[in-house]
A and B are shown apart, each in its own frame.
Chain A
Amino acid sequence: MSVAKLRVFRGDSQNGEEKEYEVPVDEGMVVLDALFYIQANYDGDLAVRWNCKAAKCGSCSTEINGKPRLACKTRMDSFAEGELITVYPIKAFPVIKDLVTDVSWNYEVSKKIPPFTPAENTDWIMYQEDVERGQEFRKCIECFMCQNVCHILRDHNRKDAFAGPRFMIKIAEREMHPLDTLDRREFAREEAGVGFCNITKCCTEVCPEDIHITDNGIIPLKERVVDKYYDPFSWLLRKIKGK
């Protein structure tokens, strides 16, 4: 049995430091198991948020060796023998304690997105080709790693102007829904700040559900905004069609 060295952030938003632990590594062990070992054998007050331990609840988002990852999905055998493993809380949100952050801002943003709005007396029959784009976005487990890695939120702290990748795909899902009647392009541009995104695709890189956030969500949303605000031909076509 090998022994791994972990450096775990201990502290809160005001003060903090790394603390080093040695953890014996068993076969099939993940980083979350190592954190459990620390809780059980060294520091019982180490705070870590977790729930399913199956990469489906999105609770255990952390930064492992500087990369946003789910602690329950990161195997200990993916590190080299003797490699020092750092575990930090996600950077974009205030630390409550140790590895637990306050992600409540995300839920406030979510509330602002206009809900699904079907027409009155909607015929509820939908075809697979019409709904499968949205199905990809509904795989989201709200781990908020995309929000965390997005430099607009993480480094520039423009939470006042940009809703973040997780909510861009939520807007895109409803905007593309075959039975939704709202035009969400003004909301996407003015309220959610889709223009802030500079397509660096980090959100897609870290998504544990492999959702193509940028290619299938944000860019199509940007193109729809172009249709409405920056394309005189589209505008002319809409006028001719009386839309």
Chain B
Amino acid sequence: MANGTASRALTLRKDSWWVEPLVTAVVLGAFGIYSTWRALSNQYYYTEPYLSPFYSPLILSDWWPFSPAILILWAPLGFRATCYYYRKAYYRSFFLSPPACAVNPVGKKGSYTGESRFPFILQNVHRFFLYASTFVLLFLWIDSFEAFFFQDGIGIGVGTIILTINAFLLTMYSFSCHSFRHLVGGKLDVFSRCPTRFRLWGSTSAMNEIHMTWAWSSLIFVALTDLYVFLVANGTIIDLRLI
């Protein structure tokens, strides 16, 4: 027994340490339920000229009888699931490992292996999901470009703005990633020999400092973007044409 009563208590913290993991669990859980429902629903994902980001790039083929979103979403979902920021978020919120700093975690003492054994050793493939989701991101920019082209010519609707903001936030999230930061320059020991990569690393590091902000804003906005396309496509709301 260490420290007398300290070792027996869940925690001696008096602040509301449980709020952050609870809010994280609720938001991530809600996103998980919503995105699963939308990915499997296989309808109301396109209304000219807007395509839901959950279905982009749109792959329609006879050999795939299920929702085309399934062919795409593994990449961005894998990217987020292995993201260094989200790892912190869900290890705390869902695995309670630990739920908060200086709060006892769940799990048998002495058996913890973290990310050194299966299945969590698979977190090391994060950079490959970065590559795959960057490929998907290219299509989201194409979609946002195409969102300017209406049947009656070039214009801007509320959907155009939403799709563009969505692509921007996802870009910031992707390129503020810790793996990207490593790949563009962090892996070097001698920056002075590679000034371009040093500058790139510096820019990525600046974005990386608010990686959490990009992670949450892009997650919430991608769901809102899909919701907007869904509501317009099923006729619940009308897309307001601004120009």
Interface of A with B (CB < 8 Å)? Answer: 9, 11, 13-18, 63, 65-68, 86, 88-89, 91, 93-95, 127, 129-130, 149, 151-152, 154-158, 161-162, 175-178, 180, 193, 195-202, 205-206, 215, 219-220, 222-227, 229-231
Contact = CB atoms under 8 A, between A and B. Distances in A.
Contacts of A154: 102
B105 interface: yes
Interface in B87-112: 87-88, 91-92, 97-98, 101-102, 104-105, 107, 109-112
B4 to A, nearest CB: 3
Contacts of A197: 114-115
Given A13-B2, A95-B3, 13 more contacts: A65-B14, A91-B6, A149-B102, A152-B112, A155-B98, A161-B113, A177-B189, A178-B190, A198-B88, A205-B101, A223-B187, A226-B124, A229-B124
A205 B104 CA distance: 16
Contacts of B115: 195-198
B7 interface: yes
Nearest to A94: B2
10 contacts: A66-B14, A95-B4, A129-B192, A130-B191, A195-B115, A198-B120, A199-B84, A215-B178, A215-B208, A230-B124
B182 interface: yes
Contact of B91 (A94, A199, A219, A231): A199
Contacts of A201: 88
A200 B98 contact: yes
Which of B7, B13, B187, B189 gathers most chain A CB within 10 Å? B189
Contact of B97 (A88, A151, A195): A151
Nearest 8 interchain pairs by C-beta: A16-B4, A195-B116, A66-B12, A66-B13, A202-B101, A223-B182, A156-B112, A196-B114
Would you call the interface of chain B mostly helix, strand, loop, or mixed?
loop
A206 B101 CA distance: 9
Given A9-B4, A151-B98, A156-B112, A223 B105 contact: no
Interface residues of B, number: 51
B11 interface: yes
Contact of A17 (B4, B117, B187): B4
Contact of A157 (B104, B109, B179, B208): B109
A198 B97 contact: yes
A89 B6 CA distance: 9
A175 B7 CA distance: 36
Contact of A176 (B109, B178, B189): B189
Contact of B109 (A94, A156, A220): A156
Interface in B1-38: 1-7, 11-15
Contact of B189 (A13, A180, A199, A215): A180
Given A65-B14, A158-B112, A230-B125, A219 B4 contact: no
B186 interface: yes
B121 interface: yes
Contacts of B192: 127, 129-130, 178
B208 A9 contact: no
